Amino acid sequence: MVPVMLENIDIEKLKVVARDAGAAIMEVYGTEFSVDVKEDKSPLTEADQKSNDVIVSALEQLYPEIPIISEETKTLEYSERKDWEYFWLVDPLDGTKEFIKRNGEFTVNIALIHNGTPVLGVVYQPVGDRMFWSVVEEGAWSSTDGGEAVAMTGGAHYSEKSSITVVASRSHLTQDVQDFVSDLESQGKTVEFLSAGSSLKICLVAEGAADVYPRLGPTMEWDTGAAHAIALGAGRQVNAHETGGPLVYNKENLLNPFFIVE
């Protein structure tokens, strides 16, 4: 098998794959689609499956030597994948609930993981044609409507600011997030809220539209991998809430711990 070299991965081709997957999603978005329920009680639509088919087929053709973990594809047993050096981590439609609500806040997520750490990521929002991408060692960028790439460079850590924009839902704050906000306010800081769906929440911090995103609820590895790479490329961090260490990938259990994007 040919060894994987990061410099041989073409991010522009991956952006095309993400855009093609987004087109497949949008074909369903405009129809009266049905909604199924998976074993974990999460919703599933024809768009999830169509997008997954586009992405998996393209990745297998472009990079047959790199294995794939996708939300919509049965995951191999840990014993078979634990020694993977590189693998693709895919969420073909992140934010299925947002898709069903037709609010546009859903994304296509494609990440490349190297020894448990994201090294490359593409997040594409079909509605509005927004693309975020990163090769972590080179930086992170975004574009709208296929326009000029804008570099994302993060900014000051939220702890250094007196006015802080927190990515959260004002109407559905969990107690843990409320405690996080109350702690900031007890330090004399002014807190404003910014709401978004799917992996866009991480991208908002990466591009500096928000200062911090406390995710104090369950997510899976495929929910975060691509946007995590973009955050890293922009100089941000995605750290486990309890330990302060970075999220790691290809764990035996693919459930993420609670985390903070900062």
Answer with the one of 101, 131, 152 that is the final residue of a domain.
152
118 with 205, same domain: the answer is no
More confident residue, 230 or 170: 230
Give the pLDDT band of residue 193 (cuts 50, 70, 90): very high
Which residue in 229, 216, 134 sits closest to 169, CA to CA?
216
128 with 167, same domain: the answer is no
Give the pLDDT band of residue 2 (cuts 50, 70, 90): low
Asked whether the beta carbons of 226 and 118 are under 8 A apart, the reply is: yes
Residue 1 is predicted with a pLDDT of 52
SS3 of residue 32 by DSSP: coil
Residue 21 is predicted with a pLDDT of 98
Please state the pTM of the whole predicted model.
0.95
User: How do residues 53-96 score in pLDDT, each as one tens digit?
Assistant: 999 999 999 999 999 999 988 789 999 999 999 999 999 999 99
Across residues 220-237, what is the average pLDDT? 97
120 with 184, same domain: the answer is no
Q: Count up the domains in the chain and report the number.
A: 2
Domain that holds residue 18: 6-152
CATH number, domain containing residue 208: 3.40.190.80
Classify residue 209 as exposed, middle or buried by CB count within 10 Å of its CB (0-12, 13-18, 19+). Answer: middle
In a domain, 113, yes or no: yes
In a domain, 1, yes or no: no
154, pLDDT greater than 80: no
215 with 86, same domain: the answer is no
Q: How many angstroms separate the CA atoms of 24 and 14, rounded?
A: 15
User: Does the CA dihedral 204-210-212-215 come out positive or negative?
Assistant: negative
Answer with the one of 124, 152, 180 that is the final residue of a domain.
152
Q: How many angstroms separate the CA atoms of 132 and 251, rounded?
A: 26
76 with 58, same domain: the answer is yes
CATH number, domain containing residue 49: 3.30.540.10
41, pLDDT greater than 90: no
In a domain, 147, yes or no: yes
In a domain, 212, yes or no: yes
43, pLDDT greater than 90: no
214 with 118, same domain: the answer is no
User: How do residues 127-149 score in pLDDT, each as one tens digit?
Assistant: 999 999 999 999 999 999 999 99
Across residues 198-227, what is the average pLDDT? 96
Answer with the one of 152, 169, 202 that is the final residue of a domain.
152
Across residues 237-249, what is the average pLDDT? 97
